[in-house]
Chains A and B, each alone.
Chain A
Amino acid sequence: MGEELEMTVAPDMVRNLAGAAVSVELETPDMTLNIGPQHPSTHGVLRLVAKVDGERAFDVQPVIGYMHRGYEKLSEVRTYPQITALINRIDWVSGYANEIPFIVAAERLMGVEPPERAQFIRLILTEMARISSHLVFQASYPLELGAATPLFFALRDRERVLDLIEMVTGGRFHPNFNRIGGVKPAVGAGPTTRKTIQDLPAGFLAETRDAMDRVLSTADQLEDLVAGNEIVLARTKGIGILPPEVAIAYGVSGPNLRASGVGFDLRNVSDYLPYHLFDFQVPVGEAGDCWDRWWVRLEEIRQSASIVRQAVDSIPSGPLQAKVPRIIKVPAGEIYVRAENPKGEMGYYVVSDGGLGPYRLKIRSASFSNISILRWALEGTLVPDIIAIMGSLDFVLGDVDR
């Protein structure tokens, strides 16, 4: 009995008790607030261990790994065509865009060049995925600040974009649509011959033009509703400032980096899709605060809609699939291909030993690097600003944990 007592009373507990007896000051111990893994605004299963003193958090430690599915390892036991089914589940908000860098990596190792029409279809769908991903951000971010209405406006038009993606690929979130050497749209009967043909569904181009007009008008509507709101400005301006050097040091990429004033966009730098044929601007923020991150994403919706319109107007005709062997074997070698995904830079490092599947696949996902800045950015913020800053980084947990 006596022994147990000695074990349960820790030495520093006794010291604290003794201190309390002589101290006349009111002690306010810190509270550890566990935000997540189940919480309305952690975008999935992110967990933040926040040490708070009243409303002020002085140390916020993100804990990740609740969503780890082991895709890098799973890829090693699958063939190249099978892997696309896995990787569009990484960042499920823009599933289509995930496939592109992997497919391009495999094509480059094989020395296959996809036909131009296939490249245009890839580009159109990638930009649609960007629009739908940014519309999800436009929906969720005001909700995290407390305004529910923009959610419905943004999701309404995201639905149209997803319908278009579904029309071509058969899937809303997980299209699994790219093939090595081209794309594989839904099969339909040709109008004049009985032969089945593979091409974009009838009416797709016209409906796309229509949907892009709607997206642009929704972007204006959202700007009216959110940007014209004094409370939004008060909640986001000057909050969560990421200076460009810090953002680069942490490997932040995509809209978050551009909001900090660095005009780096892989669409202009890399040639994984024919972006050089189109005319678009790269919106760049000034202060790098939450407001700029919101604004950059809104502006990117407009730019993407403009790219889609240009692509729809100038899409060439031709085959959708290059000639590839029936059984795809990638020659031995290694390659890193990166692309500008809606969330930031996404890259695949593929090592092939000449077999049916990759020997090793390393996935560089944007959200993982983007949220690595959370601890730095959240130090000394208020509890409401934790949510405001976290939401403005626009991450997806599938993209963090893979």
Chain B
Amino acid sequence: MSPWLALAIWLLVVATIIPVMGMAIGYAEMKISAHMQSRIGPYFAGGRFGWAQLIADGVKFFQKEDLVPDNADRPVFKMAPVLVMVGTVGLFVVIPFGPGLTPQNLDLGIFYALAISSIGTIGVLMAGWSSGNKYSLIGGLRAAGQLIAYELPLVLAVVGVVILAGTMSLDGIVQAQISWFSEAGWAWGMPFVIVQAVGLGVFFIASLAELSRIPFDMPIAESELVMGYLTEYSGFRFLFFFLAEFANMFTLSAIAATLFLGGYWVPGVPDSILQFVGPLVLLGKIALFVFVSIWLRWTFPRFREDQLQTLAWKWLVPISLANIIVTGILKVVI
């Protein structure tokens, strides 16, 4: 197979999987929130259960006029949604879907993932700055403030796992969970969550902030800033932001599942079978995180910007530092 053909196939796979994942989560959000609010949710599109609602929405976005405000910074305005999408797509590269099913098993997998996930925020800042709208500007700057506050706990929460696993490769971290306690003669390993529950909590909260979902949706804050940095976006560009949000939810949940819940692995299933059921197992674990974040979104109001900074700097950072110390001691003792 020529390398160009392989590249084309890979691109097709990526171009299908990411929107499909985004749409699946978007549909889940619509339906779950509807049932939490004594509504029915999407019902007619597609004949049953409204399954085609998001496809219909996507088609609608395609039909919209391509609007760029007069006093917008045109090139930056047009580049911002692409950059947001790039951050999301880049994350897919390192997620292990099964034994040997990692698109690219980087040695510095988790480091790469955390680095590239913050590119999206730069896209958000660009969108806010270039729109030529005061609401967008405030939203973009809030996103920047949020990035600085939340990147640190996000990274520090991962350190505990890296100490336990002894590697930064995401596949290596899964393998480490499979063979954990094997020296003690246990037949099965254990997911890291049993000693890293605090790390998981901090990681989850910080990744909600990274996704700017309620209770951390201050950059969008409909009731204050209209739509924040998205105010001036419409049509296809808006669709990009929309899909990126849900696809990002998918990837960050996948990383959380890989780090703390053992990724594609279930106890007692040999590698030969895991190759096929691994992706499904991972999807199940992702669904758990996605559900919790949807649940939180429709329960909580949003924080104020200064309360978010307080939470990040006065609570999450010290907690994750303490977690690192405890994990270090644990590693030595075990």
Contacts and interface: CB of A to CB of B under 8 A. Distances in A.
B37 A149 contact: yes
A384 to B, nearest CB: 5
Contacts of B38: 152-153, 156
Contact of B301 (A34, A229, A382, A383): A229
B306 interface: yes
Interface string A144-172: 11111101110010000000000000000
Contact of A234 (B221, B222, B303): B303
Contact of B303 (A34, A231, A385): A231
Given A383-B224, A384-B221, A231 B37 contact: no
B302 A231 contact: yes
B110 interface: no
A33 B215 contact: no
A113 to B, nearest CB: 45
For chain A, give the interface size range. Answer: 20 to 34
B304 interface: yes
Interface in B263-322: 298-307
Interface in B210-234: 214-215, 217-218, 221-226
Nearest to B217: A146
A382 B304 contact: yes
Contacts of B48: none
B305 A231 contact: no
B134 interface: yes
B148 interface: no
Contacts of A391: 223
B138 interface: yes
B230 to A, nearest CB: 13
Interface string A212-227: 0000000000000100
Given A146-B215, A146-B223, A387-B224, A235 B305 contact: no
B305 A149 contact: no
A148 B223 CA distance: 11
B36 interface: yes
Interface string A344-365: 0000000000000000000000
B223 A387 contact: yes
A147 B305 contact: no
B215 to A, nearest CB: 6
Given A147-B301, A149-B37, A40 B226 contact: yes
Interface in B168-225: 214-215, 217-218, 221-225
Q: Which of A31, A40, A384 has the most CB of B within 10 A?
A: A384
A391 B222 CA distance: 14
Interface in A227-262: 229, 231-232, 234-235
A114 interface: no
Interface in A42-92: 54-55
A108 to B, nearest CB: 43
A385 to B, nearest CB: 7
B37 A148 contact: yes
B83 to A, nearest CB: 25
B237 to A, nearest CB: 21
A372 interface: no
Q: Which of A41, A142, A144, A149 has the most CB of B within 10 A?
A: A149
A39 to B, nearest CB: 7
A146 B307 contact: no
Contacts of A33: 134-135, 138
B298 A234 contact: no
A283 to B, nearest CB: 23
Given A384-B221, A387-B224, A145 B134 contact: no
Interface in A5-40: 31, 33-34, 39-40
A282 interface: no
Interface string A363-402: 0000000000000000000111111000100000000000
Q: Which of A31, A39, A145 has the most CB of B within 10 A?
A: A145
A41 B135 CA distance: 14
Contacts of B37: 148-149, 151-153
B305 A145 contact: no
A188 B32 CA distance: 45
A21 B33 CA distance: 56
Given A31-B134, A385-B304, A145 B299 contact: no
B304 A149 contact: no
B39 interface: yes
Contacts of B224: 41, 383-384, 386-387
Contacts of B307: 234-235
A151 B38 CA distance: 11
A311 interface: no
Given A33-B134, A231-B215, A385-B304, A146 B221 contact: yes
Interface string A117-144: 0000000000000000000000000111
A55 B300 contact: no
Contacts of B305: 55, 382, 384
Q: Which of B38, B141, B300 has the most CB of A within 10 A?
A: B300
A383 B139 CA distance: 11
Contacts of A383: 138, 224-225
A145 B36 CA distance: 18
A231 B226 contact: no
Contacts of B301: 142, 145-147, 229, 231-232, 235
Contacts of A55: 138, 305-306
Contacts of A41: 223-224
Contacts of B298: 147-149
11 contacts: A55-B305, A142-B301, A146-B217, A147-B298, A147-B300, A149-B37, A151-B37, A156-B38, A225-B299, A229-B300, A384-B302
Given A33-B134, A152-B38, 8 more contacts: A55-B305, A146-B300, A149-B298, A153-B38, A156-B38, A384-B218, A384-B304, A387-B223
